A = this chain, B = another copy of it.
Amino acid sequence: MSNSIKLAILGLGTVGTGVINLINDNLDELKRRSGRNIIITEVGTRRQRDDIDPDIIQNSDLMAIAASENVDIVIEVIGGTTLAKDVIMHAIKNGKHVVTANKALLAEYGNEIFAFAEANNVHVAYEAAVAGGIPIIKVMREALAANKIDWLAGIINGTGNFIMTEMRDKGRPFADVLNEAQELGYAEADPTFDVEGIDAAHKLALLASIAFGIPLQFDKVYCEGITGITLQDVNYAEELGYRIKHLGFAVRRDGQGDNNAAGIELRVHPTLIPQDALLANVNGVKNAVLVNSHPLGQTLYCGDGAGAGATASAVMADVMDLVRVLGSTDNDDQSSNNENNHGHHVPHLAFIPEQLSDTPILRAEQMTTGYYLRVHANDNPGVLADITRILSDAGINIDAILQKPAHKVGQVPVIILTLPVVESQMNLAIEKIEKLDTITDKVVRIRLDELA
Provide the residues of chain B in CB contact with A294, threshold 8 Å: 25-26, 309
Cβ-defined partner of A329 (8 Å) among B295, B307, B329, B347: B329
Which of A30, A127, A301, A335 has the most C-beta atoms of chain B within 10 angstroms of its own C-beta?
Answer: A301
Number of interface residues of A (CB under 8 A): 80
- B298 adjacent to A312 (CB under 8 Å): no
Q: Does residue A299 face the partner (Cβ distance < 8 Å to B)?
A: yes
Q: Does residue A303 face the partner (Cβ distance < 8 Å to B)?
A: yes
Cβ-defined partner of A320 (8 Å) among B142, B312, B317, B355: B142
- B312 adjacent to A295 (CB under 8 Å): yes
Provide the residues of chain B in CB contact with A145, threshold 8 Å: 30, 33-34, 316-317, 320
Question: Which of chain A's residues 248-293 have a Cβ closer than 8 Å to chain B?
Answer: 276, 278, 281-282, 293
Question: Which of chain A's residues 396-441 have a Cβ closer than 8 Å to chain B?
Answer: none
Question: Which of chain A's residues 297-338 have a Cβ closer than 8 Å to chain B?
Answer: 297-304, 307-310, 312-313, 315-317, 319-321, 323-330, 333, 335
Q: How far is the CA of A312 from the CA of B18 in the complex (A)?
A: 38
Question: Which of chain A's residues 181-236 have a Cβ closer than 8 Å to chain B?
Answer: 213
- B295 adjacent to A313 (CB under 8 Å): yes
Provide the residues of chain B in CB contact with A327, threshold 8 Å: 341-344
CB-CB nearest in chain B for A295: B309
Q: Does residue A3 face the partner (Cβ distance < 8 Å to B)?
A: yes
Cβ-defined partner of A138 (8 Å) among B1, B138, B329, B342: B138
- A295 adjacent to B25 (CB under 8 Å): yes
Cβ-defined partner of A30 (8 Å) among B146, B310, B312, B344: B146
Query: Which residues of A pack against B, CB within 8 Å?
Result: 1, 3, 18, 21-22, 25-26, 29-36, 127, 133-135, 138-139, 142-148, 213, 276, 278, 281-282, 293-304, 307-310, 312-313, 315-317, 319-321, 323-330, 333, 335, 340-347, 350-352, 355, 357
Other than the known A32-B357, A142-B320, A146-B319, what 17 A-B pairs have Cβ atoms closer than 8 Å?
A: A21-B295, A25-B148, A26-B294, A26-B295, A29-B148, A32-B355, A133-B297, A135-B139, A138-B139, A139-B143, A144-B313, A145-B320, A278-B278, A295-B313, A298-B304, A323-B343, A327-B343
